Structure 1
Amino acid sequence: MTSSPLLSLLLLPFAKATIFTLINNCHHTIWPAAVPGGGRELAPGERWSLARSPSACNGRFWARTNCSFDGEGKGRCLAGDCNGALSCDGDGSPPATLVEYSLYQYGNNDFYDVSLVDGFNVPVEIRPTTADCMAARCTADVAGECPAELKTAGGCMSACQVYKTNQYCCEYGSCGPTKYSRLFKKLCPDAYSYAEDDATSTFTCKSGGDYIITFCPS
């Protein structure tokens, strides 16, 4: 028998909304995107807090750069663009350094990661506020170390986006690391370097805590 969403929530008597606080520590303005959650402009030093319901859910955050929007929230970003809208409701255009999460999963655990599967544009860290839970981060100058064939305006593309083959995209069967994913892993050991890089890239924390996401962490 499958349980209803209400019953699932009742089985978590201490569940509370999870707060994600996004901080712009960069020296330039960014336009963070949240799916779900929309998007907004963040000047250097500004922060944006979003609440997620105390139930199983998942989503992602990323920073958009070099954006221009009109009064109706329509425009474009050089990296991470979200269908030309300030308030996102879908995936962004690469390159974009992703923060991904799944809350209140099996065993009352959260799972979170930093991913370079959609490329890299801005360094980022996700840090749980719960004691004894580890931060995941990518702070290296990936754009500066990017191979010439992956370089693009605004950052570094993934090999999947450039070559579009299963060797790099892992769309079916199994696949292993490549020279490109090994380079990304060397630069950012915490981050997903390709789609099946789970063993060293998925972080876990007991559900119920909050998270701080810092773009351009120190």
Structure 2
Amino acid sequence: MSYLATLSLVFISTLLITARAANLLVRNNCPYVVWAAASTPVGGGGRRLNTNEEWSFNTPPGTDKSRIWGRTKCNPDGSGCETGDCGRLECTQYGKAPNTLAEYALNQNSPGYYTNLDFFDISLVDGFNIPMEFGPVNNSGGKCEARRCTADINGQCPGKLRVPGGCNNPCTTFKEERYCCNNGPCGPTDLSRFFKDRCPTSYSYPQDDPTSLFTCPGGTNYKVVFCP
């Protein structure tokens, strides 16, 4: 390993050691029970949230590929949820579509490109079930501002995507490459535009990065609000 590469690794390691954990606050403003869920590479969790209840937890710096979502109409006997089900109250894996997703990666570093940045987004790539707001607790302006998806997507959902409790995504529904984008570049479709037209700052298909991915400084605290 070169001297410069070694310095880069030391620099990145130092940033992660000195960076503090981010607090994630999840609140339910919906007039119905939401079973909140979280999944990260290092663990997960879940809570039943009645109206106006909150759940708070810390996420360590360097965490990526993480998401928070809400589940609806879950059964106490563990037999599942109408939307977003992960098989248990405290999730250890991603939930089943459809579910509105808050996605994040904290304190990310790419030498020469960016240092100690958080990335966050609301994604409808897995469909939609609950209106959501996601972003920093204290807006800093620019790209570090909370984003919302509160359109009546369930009510306006195209018939071929409509399922109990939500609006499914076209990849899960049709399993076609033009919707799933598994093998190289792809673009928007008529079905992805249905979601994008209603929530312009949310992901509508897997490669919808330019208008859907946002950043905040590392160490920012975040909130997820169901039915903001």
Q: TM-score, normalised by structure 2?
A: 0.88
Partner of 2:158: 147
The Cα shift of 1:140 comes to 0.4
Structure 1, unpaired ranges of 5+: none
Amino acid at match of 1:195: P
**2:203 aligned counterpart, secondary structure:** coil
Partner Cα separation in structure 2 for residue 170 and residue 17 of structure 1: 33
Partner of 1:189: 200
Q: How many residues are paired up?
A: 213
Amino acid at match of 1:101: Y
Partner Cα separation in structure 1 for residue 45 and residue 18 of structure 2: 28
Q: Note the alpha carbon deviations across 1:122-166, whole angstroms, 9 max, x for none.
A: 011112034222112211011111000100011000111111000
1:53-64 → structure 2 map (5 Å cutoff) = 53-64=60-71
Partner of 2:48: 41
Confirm or deny that 1:126 pairs with 2:134: yes
Alignment CA distance shift 1:56-1:88 (3 Å): closer
Partner Cα separation in structure 1 for residue 163 and residue 52 of structure 2: 27
User: Between the two proteins, what is the percent identity of the paired residues?
Assistant: 47
Structure 2, unpaired ranges of 5+: 110-114
Partner of 1:24: 28
Alignment CA distance shift 1:23-1:172 (3 Å): same
Q: Note the alpha carbon deviations across 1:17-76, whole angstroms, 9 max, x for none.
A: 100000001000000110032111000000000101133434100000001123xxx331
Partner of 1:157: 168
* Match for residue 108 of structure 2 among 105, 110, 125: 105
Structure 1 runs (4+) greater than 2 angstroms displaced: 1-14, 54-58, 129-132
Alignment CA distance shift 1:95-1:39 (3 Å): same
- Native 8 Å contact 1:9 1:55 kept in 2: no
Q: TM-score, normalised by structure 1?
A: 0.92
**1:66 aligned counterpart, secondary structure:** coil
